[in-house]
Structure formats: structure tokens, C-alpha cells
Amino acid sequence: MTSPSAPRTALILSHISFEDPGTLGDLLIEQGFHLRTLEPALPSVRLHSPGEPDLVVVLGGPIGVYEEDRYPHIPEEISFIGERLSLRKPIVGICLGAQLMARALGARVFPSGIREIGWKPLELTADGRKTPLSLLGTGNPMLHWHGDTFDIPEGLTNLARTDAVPNQAFMVGHYGLALQFHPEIRTDDFERWLLGHAFELATRKIDPSLLRRQTQIYGPELESRAGAFFSRWLSEAGLI
């Protein structure tokens, strides 16, 4: 009798506890993936075998890619991501994860000069509308939570923008997906974000009640669109 094959694996690189893979994680579990989470910042964690997981997902966090002197795990994480990309194996980067991907590909990551926090329209470029991003729609409200931005790596194309931050997404072939914004958010999880970022919101005089109301309005539709978007990308990456 033939033994069942091992489940496909998704390695989740997590930088802050309340930011998880959200609807992307839900979809992966539905598709039979085993999710393994590592926290690269912990001294006991060493990243190795970048080609081993079927998928790598690099999540967000409140640090800068350029702060290697303050957060010594950053160079190792960049190296791991760079090796993964060189192997042409599927990887998704969200927010900080996208910035780490950009740096691994030799692009500049730097403060944008503003804090883009909350729901605002995401506009797809002409190139973006030819990719799975089209399933998110263009001009629809999207959750943003970042202060840094990146240059688009050499040879690649910007796929999305907002009125304040022009570079919001890029793809590397069919295997690399970098997103500055947060399509993975679950509506029911958003209170964790408000609590986790309470100090930043208070410092910047951003009313959490407004963000909460906006999420209740826009979140459910985004969950539906994001499910279709992630499904299409995973399919094109040969994972489902």
C-alpha cells in the first residue's frame, strides 16, 4: 500500500505576533498546506534550506530594512530571501516582507516621508491589471500601514500605486510576489492590530474608531477579493 505523500509546506516568517498570514493562511490550509511559523529576530532561530518549503511567506513588521545596526537578524533574513529568489521558488512578501524582497534584489528601501495608515484606494498600473492583482480591482479601498517604501528592482515593473506612495507592488516572474499593502487582513482580527499599534495611533492622533468603522465596511469585500487574488497567484505559481 502506497503511503500518502507529505503535505506541502509554507514557511511563515513572522515579525510581530498580531500580523499573521490572514486570509492567505486560511487558503493555504484549505489547500492542504502545513504552515510552519518562524520568528527570524529570535537569537535561537537560524534560517536555512531556502529551497525546502513549497512556499515562503514574509510578513510585515514595524522596523526598517536599513536598521541592521539595531536589528541584527536583518542581514540573515535578506540573504535567505535572496537565495530563495535565486532558486526561482515561490515567495510572497507583505509590507516589510516586500521591502526585504526589494532589498534582496538590490533595490533601495527608505523612509517615504509619510505614514500611510488606514484604508485608501489602491490603483493598479496598466501592467498590474494584467496580473492576478486585477482580481483586487483598481481603485478599491485597501489597508495600508507603513512608513517606508522601495524602488522597484531593476528589470521589474511597478504594478500598483496610491496617491502618496507610487511603488506598491511588483512580481518576479510567476514565483515572486511583493505587496506593500495588506490584502491578507481578516475583518475579525483587526482589533488586534488596533491594540498592537495603540501607541503609534495615539502618537499620530489617528482615531482607532475611524479605522475600526472603515474595516467593518471594507474588510468583508476585501476578504472575498483577496481570496480570489491569492488563489490565482498560487495557481500561476504552480502551487494549487
Q: For residues 45 and 89, is the Cβ–Cβ distance under 8 A?
A: no
In angstroms, the CA 15 to CA 206 distance is: 23
Q: For residues 160 and 122, is the Cβ–Cβ distance under 8 A?
A: yes
- Cell matching residue 237: 505559481
Catalytic residue, chosen from 19, 77, 116, 184, is: 184
Catalytic residue, chosen from 73, 95, 197, 223, is: 95
In angstroms, the CA 174 to CA 233 distance is: 8
**Ranges of H-type helices in the chain:** 22-30, 74-86, 96-104, 190-196, 198-203, 208-236
Catalytic residue, chosen from 15, 144, 146, 182, is: 182
95 is catalytic: yes
184 is catalytic: yes
**Ranges of H-type helices in 117-207:** 190-196, 198-203
Residues in the chain, total: 240
What is the set of active-site residues?
95, 182, 184
